[in-house]
């Protein structure tokens, strides 16, 4: 993301927030068994450095994950009936959101075979418990928040499983996989929905969820570009691979045949279609952000448009590195 498109100021705020969250995560892990705490710390370091599991941090950009800012974006009231006021509410909603992220992310990496025989298998339960603890400090058991919380988690977990099934099936439509990507990011609306529940602005939550889902589609497809060769080697047809299949013809349903027979014309046609589809997703996200009156969200959308344009320019050259010259 360029500085002009919401970069430096946003990057500084996100870095400050992430530092605060890292401190809390370290303190949380210090209370766990030593081996588990050490493995969790190493997992976080690997995730941030890019040496860990290959799937990118969901909802991330070069300035960090937008969803740690989203609760603040939707908080328009200067006062709220909760101990510590609005800022404590926002901090707690973000903290609960981050615990959920790591709980689901670790589960996903275990399911995907990227983590095995590790004490980290215990971490999701502990992280989920911490999420429940912090959200429970703001919402009693009768609150409508809990129904949303449960449905969002279910949607994310079901989305992860469904996306894996669709990627393993070369005949599954690309568009169906794209819609599933939106479900995977459902948990990223929980913290913001909590803020809305407290502020009495629950009517904006559907638009908020729409925004999160459309951004989730775009972020995951961008990740699919980066992971294309690795996914194909593993027999997985991500969204980019499925569009390439569509452009190549139905006879190339084997990853090896696909990589051997793609030509520059096919690659270019696929990029054109993918770019148009991602811009359409951002159009929907933009209408939702406009209705929510979230300028920062609109800046985020523009940064993603820039990333897509850059991919369009570099895609064919990138293909040469994956598939060889054609």
Determine if residue 113 is left, alpha or beta; phi over 0 gives left, psi from -120 to 50 gives alpha, anything else beta.
left
pLDDT value for 42: 92
Contact, 192 vs 71, CB < 8 A?
yes
| Closest to 102 in 3D by CA, of 82, 204, 292, 110 | 110
d(CA 215, CA 66): 10
Mark 3-28 as b/e (b = at least 16 C-beta within 10 Å): eebbbeebbebbeebbeebeebbeeb
176: exposed, middle or buried (Cβ count in 10 Å: 0-12, 13-18, 19+)? middle
Share of the chain above pLDDT 70, in %: 80
d(CA 258, CA 304): 28
- Judge whether residue 27 has pLDDT over 90: yes
- Judge whether residue 63 has pLDDT over 60: no
Residues 6+ apart with CB under 8 A from 81: 198
Q: Tokens 């399911």 map to which residue? A: 111
Tens digit of pLDDT for each residue in 96-107? 999 999 999 999
d(CA 57, CA 68): 12
CATH code of 295's domain: 1.10.600.10
18-32, 124-138, 309-323: which is most confident: 124-138
Token pair recorded at residue 95: 């903290």
Across all residues in the chain, what is the average pLDDT?
85
d(CA 312, CA 304): 12
Q: How many domains does the chain have?
A: 1
Tens digit of pLDDT for each residue in 261-296? 566 777 888 899 999 999 999 999 999 999 999 999
Tens digit of pLDDT for each residue in 73-113? 998 755 555 556 888 999 999 999 999 999 999 998 888 77
Residues 6+ apart with CB under 8 A from 113: none
54: exposed, middle or buried (Cβ count in 10 Å: 0-12, 13-18, 19+)? middle
Cα separations in angstroms, 196 against 79, 95, 281: 13, 16, 24
Residue 59: pLDDT band with limits 50, 70, 90: very low
Considering the entire predicted model, what is its pTM? 0.86
SS3 content of the chain, % helix, strand, coil (to 5): 75, 0, 25
- Which residues constitute the domain of residue 237? 3-323
Q: Tokens 């339960």 map to which residue? A: 125
């Amino acid at each position: 993301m360029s500085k002009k498109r919401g970069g430096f100021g946003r990057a500084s705020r996100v870095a400050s927030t992430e530092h605060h969250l890292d401190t809390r995560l370290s303190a949380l892990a210090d209370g766990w068994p030593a081996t588990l705490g050490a493995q969790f710390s190493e997992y976080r370091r690997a995730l941030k450095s890019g040496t860990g599991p290959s799937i990118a941090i969901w909802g991330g950009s070069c300035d960090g994950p937008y969803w740690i800012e989203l609760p603040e974006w939707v908080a328009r009231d200067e006062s709220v009936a909760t101990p510590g006021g609005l800022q404590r509410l926002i901090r707690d909603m973000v903290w609960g959101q981050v615990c959920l992220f790591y709980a689901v992310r670790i589960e996903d990496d275990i399911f995907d075979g990227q983590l095995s025989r590790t004490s980290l298998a215990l971490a999701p339960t502990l992280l989920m418990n911490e999420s429940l603890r912090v959200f429970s400090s703001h919402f009693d058991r009768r609150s409508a928040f809990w129904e949303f919380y449960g449905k969002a988690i279910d949607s994310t977990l079901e989305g992860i499983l469904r996306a894996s099934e669709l990627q393993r099936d070369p005949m599954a439509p690309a568009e169906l996989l794209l819609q599933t990507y939106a479900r995977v990011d459902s948990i990223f609306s929980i913290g913001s929905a909590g803020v809305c529940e407290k502020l009495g602005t629950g009517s904006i939550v559907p638009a908020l969820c729409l925004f999160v889902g459309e951004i989730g589609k775009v972020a995951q497809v961008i990740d699919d570009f980066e992971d294309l060769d690795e996914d194909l080697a593993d027999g997985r047809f991500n969204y980019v691979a499925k569009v390439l299949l569509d452009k190549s013809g139905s006879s190339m349903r084997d990853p090896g045949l696909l990589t051997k027979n793609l030509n520059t014309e096919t690659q270019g046609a696929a990029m054109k279609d993918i770019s148009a589809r991602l811009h359409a997703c951002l159009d929907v996200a933009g209408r939702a952000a406009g209705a929510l009156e979230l300028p920062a969200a609109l800046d985020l959308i523009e940064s993603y448009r820039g990333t897509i344009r850059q991919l369009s320019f570099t895609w064919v050259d990138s293909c040469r590195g994956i598939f060889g010259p054609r």
